[in-house]
Amino acid sequence: MIKNSIDSYHHLGAYIISCQGKGGVIAWEPKSKIDPWDHVESAMGLDVLGFQSNSIKAYDWLKNSQEKDGSWFSEYLGDKAVNLKKETNFAAYIATGAWHHFLNFKDKQFLKDLWPTISKAMEFVVSGQTKDGDILWAKDENNDWMDDSLLTGCSSIYKSLLCFQKISFELGFSEKIYEKETNWLFNAIKNKSQRFDRNWKSKDRYSMDWYYPILCGIISDNEAKLRIDARWDEFVVQGLGCKCVEEEPWVTAAESCELVLTLVKMSEKKKAEEIFSNVCALADPESKLFWTGYVFKDKKYWPEEKPSWTAAAVILAANSLYGFSESSNFFSD
């Protein structure tokens, strides 16, 4: 059953806080692995529910763990980096999260304090842009650029660049910082599909590649509708939600919630509510926390984990549908 009261989601915020460790870092589960993108996503969930101090602690961790080049490592366990790649999408997401935080609390000092960290992060991100406009997905363990780009990752970076420009304008700087780079990236996503998945198997089997260019504002209006309609039956399982991978019998809560955000952006609220009702069925009956996903072929939840960022995705989706906070239109504007 869909719950349209913010109080129905406070237990998810409490769970995210239980995953928050030393220095403000938010792990997938208590004392488990950490990645910067999901860390920010979890902080965004806290924003919606009004947990301002815990969210600020999350950004303090980002300030204190940022590398000299503006990046973060791809994965941590406690205080130790365990995956030494540096992903551009992960670095960029701080701008998305920071603007989302500001919309909720109107705390300009928060933006001022975080500005040097955000600026360094975006400098790292745009340093990976190619002459074709796409942004390379990561630097490897030897600090060399890896020669390929991700459609989903670049779409998320585009959203982050827009948020970065809004932050810079709010703080009295030029709104046009990285304007050219943003336009180049937009053009690459819209018109240069050959720039993505050049050196590995195409990721268009992943539902995120299907809806992210819409969610992040590159594709809109009738083109967006045609894109969603074209592959709806490939990714959406009636009564269950959105699959992560086209050929796998596995619906996931986070992808389903992001599809909800996308549909709300497209003014398809009825469809969005239907998908969200499917998501609600992925909650554990006892804890009311959300499993990552459900393998419908085997009728079991898998993997056996309840990530903090999945809880956050549910909160963000509910906010977009029911307007709990000032950031409810964050992905629609």
Q: Which residues have C-beta within 8 Å of that of residue 78, sequence separation ≥ 6? A: 21, 22, 31
Which CATH architecture is the domain 8-322 placed in?
A: Alpha/alpha barrel (1.50)
Question: Quick one: angle between helices 253-265 and 269-280, nearest 10?
Answer: 160
Q: Which amino acid is at 150?
A: L
Is the pLDDT confidence value at 257 over 80?
A: yes
138-185 per-position pLDDT tens digit: 999 999 999 999 999 999 999 999 999 999 999 999 888 999 999 999
Q: Indicate if the pLDDT at residue 47 is higher than 60.
A: yes
The arithmetic mean of pLDDT across residues 191-196, rounded, is: 98
Grouping H, G, I as helix, E, B as strand and the rest as coil, residue 261 is helix
In b/e form, how buried is each residue of 299-324, taking b as 16+ CB within 10 angstroms? eebeeeebbbbbbbbbbbbbbbbbeb
pLDDT higher than threshold 60 for residue 211: yes
Distance (Å, whole) CA 51 – CA 37:
19
Position 333 scores a pLDDT of 85
- CB contact set of 288 (below 8 Å; sequence gap of 6+): 11, 12
Give 262's contacts (C-beta < 8 A, 6+ positions apart): 211, 214, 215, 228, 331
Q: What is the mean pLDDT of the chain?
A: 97
What digits encode the pLDDT tens for the residues 105-124?
999 999 999 999 999 999 99
Please name every residue paired with 206 in a beta bridge, in sequence order, or none if there are none. 245
Query: How many percent of the chain have pLDDT more than 70?
Result: 99
Q: What is the pLDDT of residue 279?
A: 94
Q: Where are the domains of the chain?
A: 8-322
The rounded distance, in Å, linking the Cα atoms of 120 and 7 is: 37
The DSSP output letter for 145 is B
4 — pLDDT class (breaks 50, 70, 90):
confident
- C-alpha distances out from residue 123 to 61, 113, 135, 145, Å: 19, 17, 12, 15
pLDDT of the residue at 3: 80
Amino acid sitting at position 173: F
pLDDT at residue 87 is higher than 70? yes
Separation of alpha carbons 73 and 325, rounded Å: 31
Residue 1 has pLDDT above 70, yes or no: no
Q: Confidence band (pLDDT; 50, 70, 90) for 2?
A: low
**CB under 8 Å to 277, separation ≥6 — which residues?**
1, 2
The answer to whether 282 and 260 are in contact (CB under 8 A) is: no
Q: Report the first-to-last Cα separation within the chain, whole angstroms.
A: 28
Predicted structure pTM score:
0.98
Average pLDDT of span 196-207 = 97
Q: What angle do CA 1, 250, 35 make, to 5 degrees?
A: 90
- In this predicted structure, the answer to whether residue 216 has a pLDDT above a threshold of 70 is yes
Confidence bin at 225 (pLDDT 50/70/90): very high
Q: What is the pLDDT of residue 252?
A: 98
Alpha-helical (H) ranges within the chain are 10-18, 36-49, 52-65, 88-105, 108-126, 151-170, 179-191, 207-215, 221-235, 253-265, 269-280, 308-322
